[in-house]
Amino acid sequence: MRTQINQLFEKIQSLEAELEEEVKERRRSYGYKLEQGRLFITREARERQAALKLGLRRYLIDSGVLTILTAPFIYAVAIPVFLLDVVASLYQAVCFRVYGVKQVKRRDYVVFDRHRLPYLNVIQKVNCFYCSYANGVIAYVHEIASRTEQYWCPIKHAERLAGTHRRYDGFLEYGDVGEYPDSLEEQRQRLRNEGDTPPGPQGPTE
């Protein structure tokens, strides 16, 4: 059973690699590419996108009064997100060192590059900066939480979950007491030996 699951995850990883190549090709068609983490946009693409930029006045008018009035509620969420960022970073800096678990690289999840898009005005760039930060922090904390769960309680739920993290499918089956507690230590050792795995699904290993 475990072998079949591993084979399925190998297929998923193969499809992801194929998808990444298709994404790279689409990027080139849009006039930009990523090389060693650096973004390059062609002059033609910049000029074409800049021509589509919406002025601030037109943007505010199109947004509508109600949308503008909700802005303070949206940006107020930045406070708990920032606190979550700080606390989660402190938590893994202390606890993961004790557990012998590799710390999550924040820069893999919190990325700011949308401000370089020529077709965005100042307000849109600020909005994109905020969304990049908030969603990036949530994804960053999600990965920290998944490593914590694998270390302390790598057991699946009896009920099917609407959304799971990339480690969940490698957890122990609910009620499989024969695999516990030896497999708990196996899960922990696997986590300690884990390299710098980029974000994405991760299947179980034998």
Tell me the per-residue pLDDT of 63-95, one tens digit each, with 9 for 90 and over: 889 999 999 999 999 999 999 999 999 999 999
- 206 assigned to some structural domain: no
30/79: higher pLDDT: 79
Q: In total, how many domains does the chain have?
A: 1
Confidence of residue 203 (pLDDT cuts 50, 70, 90): very low
Domain span including residue 135: 2-193
Residue 195, C-beta contacts closer than 8 angstroms, at least 6 positions apart: 102
Does residue 201 register a pLDDT over 60? no
Across all residues in the chain, what is the average pLDDT? 85
- 86 assigned to some structural domain: yes
- 204 assigned to some structural domain: no
Full-prediction pTM beyond 0.75? Answer: yes
Res 204: pLDDT: 42
* Dihedral of alpha carbons 189, 194, 199, 203, sign: negative
- 113 assigned to some structural domain: yes
Q: What percent of the chain has pLDDT over 70?
A: 90
Nearest CA-CA partner of 71 in 118, 133, 121, 126 = 126
The pLDDT of 119-142, averaged and rounded, is: 95
- 200 assigned to some structural domain: no
Does residue 1 register a pLDDT over 60? no
Q: Return the minimum-mean-pLDDT range out of 13-22, 35-44, 86-95, 180-189.
A: 35-44
Res 21: pLDDT: 77
- Mean pLDDT is highest, among 16-20, 135-139, 171-175, for 135-139
* Dihedral of alpha carbons 184, 190, 196, 200, sign: negative
Does residue 24 register a pLDDT over 80? no
- 201 assigned to some structural domain: no
- 198 assigned to some structural domain: no
Does residue 196 register a pLDDT over 80? no
Contact 166, 109 (CB under 8 A): no
- 101 assigned to some structural domain: yes
Res 36: pLDDT: 66
